[in-house]
Chains A and B, each alone.
Chain A
C-alpha cells in the first residue's frame, strides 16, 4: 500500500488500472481536439493561415475525430472503472483488455498521422480503405473501422462476461443492452454508396442514434454509478430513475431521428414524425436535472468529491441546456429549413457535446485521481480553497457558453441573410459570412476558445496535483 496522497496504481482494482490508461489517452486527445479547434477557428479569421498545408478541412477533421474518440475512451474507461465494483468480481479478460488498449492506441496514432501527412487521396475505393472515408465524424478509414470493431468486441466481452459471472445489477442490465446497440450502430456507417441520400440516411443512424439515444443512456448508467459513489444515493432510487430515463430517451430519441430526414431526399412524412418526436427529446433531459437536484437535496449536497460532484451537476444542466434547449430551438422543420447547416447547428453541437458528455468524463477523471491517491479527502476545505478546480470549472463553462452564444449570433445572421433572403446561393453565402455581426461572432468564438484552452491547462494541472500530500482520508457518507 502506497502512502496516502501519493499516486499509486496499487490503490486500484484491475479494471480501474485499465481505465486509467483510457483516461490518459482521452486526456491527450482532448488537448488535441482543443488545439485543432483553435486552428480551424483561426482560419475563419485569417484564411491564409496554413492554407494549402493544413487546410480547414484537415483541422476540422482532426478536431471532431479527436472529440469522438476521446469521449469514447472516457466512456470505456468509466465502464472499466465501475465494472469490478458493480459486478463484485475481477474483469474476466483483463490481459486481453490491456492488449487491445495498446492496439487501439496504435491504430488511432496511425490514423492521425495519415490524416496530417497524407490528408487526401484519389477518388477511388482504396482511399476509403487506407486514408479517409470523408464522412463527417466517421472519417476514419475502413481498416481502422474494422480494428475498432474488433477492439470493441473484446471490451464488450469483458463487460458482459464480468457481469454475467458476477453481480448483475440494474445498471448492468441497461449498460449491456445499450452497448450492443451502440456498437451495432457503428456498422451502419461502414459501406460506400454513390447515392448521397442513402449515404446520409445511414450516416444519421450512426450519429443521431449515438448521441441522442445510446450515448445518452450510457452516460445515464455511468452517472447512476457516480451518484451512488459520491452522494451515497440509494441504488433502488437511482436505478428506477435510470429506467425512467431510458423509457423517455429511447421513446423520443429513436423516432426523433426524423429531424435529420427533413431535407435529404427522404419522404415528407418525416417532417411531422421527426418534428414531433424530437420535440419530446428534452423531456428526459429535464428528468435528469430533476433527478440530480432531488438526489443532491435528499443528501443535503453532502458528497465526498467536490470537483467530481460539481461536474456531475454541470452535466445534468449542460445536457439539458445544450441538447435540450439548444436542440429544441432548431428541431421543428419550420425553423430548421432556415437554420439547417448553419453556425446555428455548430452552436448546438458544441454546447451539447460539451454539456452532455465532456462534463461526465471530467467528473470521472476526478474520481480516478481521488482513488489513485489512495481515497483521499476531496470534500470541503481543499488546500488553497481548491482554486484550481474552481477556476478551471468556471473558465471551461464560461468559455463554452460564450462560444455557444457567439456561434448562435453568427448562425442567426447566416440563417437570415444566406438562407431566408439569399436562398443559399454561393454569393448569398458570402454575403452572410462578410456581415459584421457574423465576423464578430467568429472573433468571439476564438476569444472564448482561448478561455477554454486556459481552462483545459488549469484542469490538467489540477488533475495532476489534486490531493497531493493530502493526509485526510475520504469522507464517509451518511445514508439519507
Chain B
C-alpha cells in the first residue's frame, strides 16, 4: 500500500472538500440574497405591515394547489387605520413582546418553536375566536387573561404572562400580519373563520 490510488489519496479529497464547500457557499449566498429580497416586508410573499389595516383571508389557489393569503377590503385593527410608521411600530412591539415572553417555547410560529400549544401561524384566522367582529376583542381578552379563558378539555392552560393592554394589542397586530405571509400552503387544509361576504 505504498502507492495510493489518486481517488483514495488525501490530497485529492482535500481539494474536493475545498471546492465542494466553496461552490455550495457561493450558491447559498446568491440564493440567500434573492430570498431576503423576496421576504422583506412589503414584498409579494411577506406583506407590508400596513396589512393590519385590511381584511386577511386564506384561500385556495387552483393553479398552485395550495392555500395562500388574500388581502381584502379595508378592516382596520381596533377601529383605527395606521400609517406605515405606526403599523411597523405596532408589529415591532408585538414581536418584541413575543420574544420577551418566550411564546416560542410553548407555541410554534410558522411551524417553528415548541409543541406544547397550538401553532400560531394562522391564529388570526382561527374559527375559535367566534365572529370576525368579535375577534380582536376576544384575542386581547384572551392574551390578558388566558388562564380564566381556558378552553381545552385537557386542562393544559396558557399561563397569565402579565401582558399590558398595549402589549396584547400589539401582539394581536403581529399575529394578523403574520397570517398574511405566504407560507407555500402551510398549514395545509386550514379552515379559516367565516368572515362576512
Contacts and interface: CB of A to CB of B under 8 A. Distances in A.
A142 to B, nearest CB: 11
A51 B161 CA distance: 12
Contact of A341 (B38, B106, B115): B115
B110 A196 contact: yes
Of A239, A341, A342, most B-chain CB atoms within 10 Å: A341
B111 A198 contact: no
A263 B32 CA distance: 15
Contact of A421 (B109, B174, B184, B189): B189
A135 interface: yes
Contacts of B28: 254-255, 257
B184 A262 contact: yes
Interface string B75-100: 00000000000001001111111111
Contact of A136 (B14, B97, B105, B116): B105
Contact of B118 (A43, A58, A426): A426
Chain A interface, DSSP helix/strand/loop, else mixed: helix
Nearest to B13: A243
A122 B100 contact: yes
Contacts of B121: 424
Contact of A197 (B31, B46, B123): B46
Contacts of A127: 96, 99-100
Nearest to A239: B10
A273 interface: yes
Interface in A182-201: 192-201
Given A254-B21, A337-B188, A425-B190, A434 B115 contact: no
A478 interface: no
Question: Which residue, of B24, B97, B103, has the highest number of chain A Cβ atoms within 10 A?
Answer: B24
Contacts of B164: 122
A246 B161 CA distance: 45
A340 B111 CA distance: 6
B178 A196 contact: yes
Contact of B10 (A119, A200, A236, A268): A236
Interface in B34-89: 34-36, 38-41, 45-46, 49, 88
Interface residues of A, number: 89
A430 B113 contact: no
Contacts of B34: 267
Contacts of B39: 195, 197-198, 201, 264-267
A389 interface: no
Contacts of A119: 102
A345 interface: yes
Nearest to B113: A136
A374 to B, nearest CB: 35
Q: Name the residue among B38, B39, B46, B111 with the largest chain A CB count within 10 angstroms.
A: B111
Contacts of A246: 17, 21
A264 B113 CA distance: 12
Contact of A170 (B10, B152, B155, B163): B10
B110 A254 contact: no
Interface string A334-361: 0001101111011000000000000000
Contacts of B100: 120-124, 127-128, 131-132, 134
Q: Which of B113, B187, B191 lies at the interface centre, i.e. has the most chain A CB atoms within 10 A of its CB? A: B187
A425 B191 contact: yes
Given A198-B39, A250-B17, A267 B45 contact: yes
A363 B94 CA distance: 45
Contacts of A44: 116, 156
Nearest to B162: A120
A57 B105 contact: yes
Contacts of B159: 51-52, 55
Contacts of B109: 196, 200
A200 B45 contact: no
B157 A266 contact: no
Contact of B16 (A61, A192, A198, A243): A243
Nearest to B156: A47
Contacts of B111: 263-264, 340-341
Interface string B160-197: 11011001001000100010011111111111000000
A337 B105 CA distance: 21
B106 A56 contact: yes
A60 interface: yes
Interface string A108-149: 000000000001111111011001111110010000000000
Contact of B183 (A170, A255, A265): A265
Nearest to A44: B116
A263 B20 contact: no
B133 interface: no
Contacts of B25: 254
A134 B102 contact: yes
A150 interface: no
Contacts of A128: 96, 99-100
20 contacts: A47-B156, A52-B159, A120-B100, A123-B100, A123-B163, A124-B96, A124-B100, A128-B99, A134-B102, A134-B103, A136-B112, A194-B49, A194-B91, A200-B109, A250-B21, A260-B112, A266-B45, A267-B45, A424-B188, A434-B154
5 nearest CB pairs, A to B: A123-B97, A134-B99, A424-B187, A243-B13, A263-B186
